[in-house]
Structure 1
Amino acid sequence: MPSLNVSFTDEELEGVRVAAAAEGKSLKQYLHDLGVREHQRNQFISGALEWGDRLRKEFDEAFPKEVPPRPAAGSGRGAAAA
């Protein structure tokens, strides 16, 4: 099975050890789960954004007096402009 060496400062490593202990996990298991959870979170967010973009027009037509519609993804406007 592939493995990975990761470097931490002493302070960083101590913080990670404390976090792992708080979850009752070994350092190795904690770091593994952290990476897997982050990947799954990113997949969920991407899927949710795609779902919202697919339904945006329908929602805006059904509720025209709600908050002004957000620009569709890729329109060139960032979140700060909304």
Structure 2
Amino acid sequence: MPSLNVSFTDEELEHVRVAAAAEGKSLKQYLHDLGVREHQRRTFVTGALDWGDKLRGQFDEAFPEEIPAEQRPGYGASAA
């Protein structure tokens, strides 16, 4: 199985150890899960943005009094 060596400063490693302990996990399991969760989060955000884009026209038709998407604060900002 592939593995990875990751370098941390002493201070960084201590923070990661504390976070792992807070979740009741080994350091190895915590870092593994962190990467997996980040991938899942990015997949979810991308899907949610695609879904919103697909339905934007229907929403704008149903609620013409709402502010157009391109005029909303933060429109076009990357969430991922």
Report the TM range for the smaller structure's normalisation. 0.7 to 0.9
TM-score, reference length from structure 1: 0.84
TM-score, reference length from structure 2: 0.86
Q: 3-state SS of the aligned residue for 1:36?
A: helix
> CA offsets, 1:37-69, max 9 Å, x none?
000000000000000000000000101112x12
Q: Which runs of 4+ in 1 moved over 2 A?
A: none
Which has the bigger relative contact order, CA under 8 A and spacing at least 6? 2
**2:36 alignment partner in structure 1:** 36
Q: Where do 1:1-82 residues align within 5 Å?
A: 1-66=1-66, 68-71=67-70, 78-79=76-77
Cα deviation for residue 78 of structure 1 reads 4.2
* Amino-acid identity (%): 81
Q: State how far apart, in whole Å, the 2-side matches of 1:52 and 1:25 are.
A: 36
Unaligned ranges ≥5, structure 2: none
